[in-house]
């Protein structure tokens, strides 16, 4: 495994590697992705293998701009309402942390979509990601660059620590700006459905296309969106989730770590305590979320107690991750 920079020559080298079927982890504005050429089935198979990801969990295809949309998604088959919604969302929210689930084009390998008739498409706003896609075939399949079910990577070192030599190159773009994955929105329903809350808030989407539904997590073996698997985004240590305010009232036990949403006042064991945002700012909290969990997890704690975020905007996405992280316990 080799670390590359975000310079043009390094991105060109990475694009060549992708063309040869190798795996390249790259930064986006949300989290690091484990990239493979979306049309290379050998490379796609290696992504599932490297992540230890079940084959029923489809990948997101990343494109550099809306011009590439018709090549991946069969947008001609959409009804009028769905196409109108698509145009507005693409115009206002792309590039950015919004993944759209649309009918797939036949050219897209079934391996990428786990045999579904739909494809998840995202246009990241990160400059290095955009360039890498343009230097490549124009479509990169990229799940988050972590082993399946574990904490998502917001720094190159998280990818190196978690995937090591299972990835060929890591492009180091520093810490990702948003820190939480994209929102996944299914546009193929009469009322669109948020399959995964994320970096684009429900409120921002509803302002543009009207009411959407939020799919509640499924515990079935075959959920609608596999990211809804109940246990996901988990640290090594068991995690217990508390309502806001509750955590500060529980005495701290030895070997226990804490993740507060906002300032808890006096902290008994500062080295085992993290605060997502002292001032309670949701953007700052989201950016710190996975990073702080990685830090706490490196302390070999017996338990992590975490506090819920407010239930709106990015807080909904933070709480979704926390609930899934807590579901092992
Ligand atoms: O921010 C992100 O979206 C990051 C960066 C790297 O772009 N990527 C990411 O990918 O989070 P991943 O594979 O960790 O999550 C993709 C989610 C999964 O929950 C998957 O089940 C869902 O998208 N998904 C993919 N294709 C789908 C489809 N056709 N229908 C429904 N859900 C789909
Ligand atoms: Mg993931």
pLDDT score at 222 = 46
pLDDT score at 218 = 47
Compute, in angstroms, the gap from residue 233 CA to the centroid of ligand 2: 7
Residues lower than pLDDT 70 in the chain: 216-231, 265-269, 328-329
Strand partners, 270: none
pLDDT score at 267 = 62
Which residue has its alpha carbon closest to ligand 1 atom 32? 225
Compute, in angstroms, the gap from residue 191 CA to the centroid of ligand 2: 25
Compute, in angstroms, the gap from residue 141 CA to the centroid of ligand 1: 10
pLDDT score at 327 = 79
Ligand found nearest the CA of 118: 1
Compute, in angstroms, the gap from residue 251 CA to the centroid of ligand 2: 33
2-214 matches 239-325 in fold: no
Compute, in angstroms, the gap from residue 195 CA to the centroid of ligand 1: 9
Class of domain 2-214: alpha beta
Write the CA distances from 217 to 37, 89, 222, 231, integer angstroms: 30, 24, 11, 10
Write the CA distances from 255 to 206, 247, 258, 271, 278, integer angstroms: 43, 16, 10, 11, 23
Q: Which atom of ligand 1 is nearest to the CA of 32?
A: 6
Residue 107: closest CA among 133, 137, 85, 135: 137
pLDDT score at 268 = 58
What are the pocket residues of ligand 1 if the criterion is a CB atom closer than 6 Å to any ligand atom? 28, 30-31, 33, 57-60, 97, 99, 101, 113, 116, 118-120, 122, 124, 142-144, 181-182, 184, 195-196, 225-227
pLDDT score at 219 = 39
pTM above 0.85, yes or no: yes
Q: Which atom of ligand 1 is nearest to the CA of 226?
A: 21
Which of 28, 36, 52, 60 should be mutated for ligand 1, with most atoms under 8 A from CB? Answer: 60
Domain extents in the chain = 2-214, 239-325
Ligand found nearest the CA of 25: 1
Query: CA-CA distance, 24 to 15, in Å (whole number)?
Result: 8
pLDDT score at 233 = 76
The architecture in CATH of the region 239-325 reads 3-Layer(aba) Sandwich (3.40)
pLDDT score at 269 = 63
The 10 Å Cβ neighbour count of residue 262 is 17
Which residue has its alpha carbon closest to ligand 1 atom 31? 225
Query: Using H for helix, E for strand and C for coil, what is the string for 113-151?
Result: HCCCCEEEEECCCCHHHHHHHHHCCCCEECCECCCCCEC
Compute, in angstroms, the gap from residue 227 CA to the centroid of ligand 1: 7
pLDDT in tens, 222-245: 445 555 555 677 788 999 999 988
Query: CA-CA distance, 19 to 250, in Å (whole number)?
Result: 54
pLDDT in tens, 174-214: 999 999 999 999 999 999 999 999 999 999 999 999 999 99
Compute, in angstroms, the gap from residue 196 CA to the centroid of ligand 1: 8
CB-based contact 257:271 (threshold 8 Å): no
pLDDT score at 227 = 52
Q: What is the CA radius of gyration of the chain?
A: 19
């Amino acid at each position: 495994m080799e670390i590359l920079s975000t310079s043009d020559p390094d991105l060109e080298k990475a694009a060549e590697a992708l063309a040869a079927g190798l795996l390249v982890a790259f930064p986006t504005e949300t989290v690091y992705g484990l990239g493979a050429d979306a049309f290379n089935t050998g490379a796609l198979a290696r992504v599932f293998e490297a992540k230890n990801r079940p084959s029923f969990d489809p990948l997101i295809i990343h494109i550099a701009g809306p011009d590439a949309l018709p090549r991946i998604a069969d947008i001609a088959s959409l009804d009028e309402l769905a196409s109108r919604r698509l145009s507005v969302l693409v115009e206002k929210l792309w590039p950015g942390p919004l993944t759209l689930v649309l009918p797939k084009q036949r050219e897209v390998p079934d391996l990428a979509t786990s045999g579904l008739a739909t494809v998840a498409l995202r246009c990241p706003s990160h400059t290095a990601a955009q360039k890498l896609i343009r230097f490549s075939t124009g479509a990169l399949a990229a799940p988050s660059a972590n082993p399946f079910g574990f904490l998502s990577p917001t720094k190159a070192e998280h990818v190196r620590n978690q995937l090591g030599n299972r990835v060929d190159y890591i492009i180091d773009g520093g810490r990702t700006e948003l820190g939480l994955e994209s929102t996944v929105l299914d546009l193929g329903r009469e009322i669109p459905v948020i399959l995964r809350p994320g970096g684009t808030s429900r409120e921002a989407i509803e302002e543009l296309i009207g009411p959407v539904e939020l799919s509640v997590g499924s515990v079935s073996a075959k959920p609608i969106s596999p990211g809804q698997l109940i246990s996901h985004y988990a640290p090594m240590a068991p995690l217990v989730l508390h309502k806001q305010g509750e955590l500060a009232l529980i005495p701290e036990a030895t070997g226990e770590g804490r993740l507060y949403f906002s300032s808890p006042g006096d902290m008994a064991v500062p080295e085992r305590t993290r605060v997502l945002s002292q001032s309670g700012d949701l953007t700052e909290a989201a950016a710190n979320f996975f990073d702080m969990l990685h830090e706490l997890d490196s302390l070999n704690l017996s338990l992590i107690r975490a506090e819920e975020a407010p239930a709106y905007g990015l807080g909904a996405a933070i709480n979704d991750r926390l609930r899934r992280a807590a579901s092992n316990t």
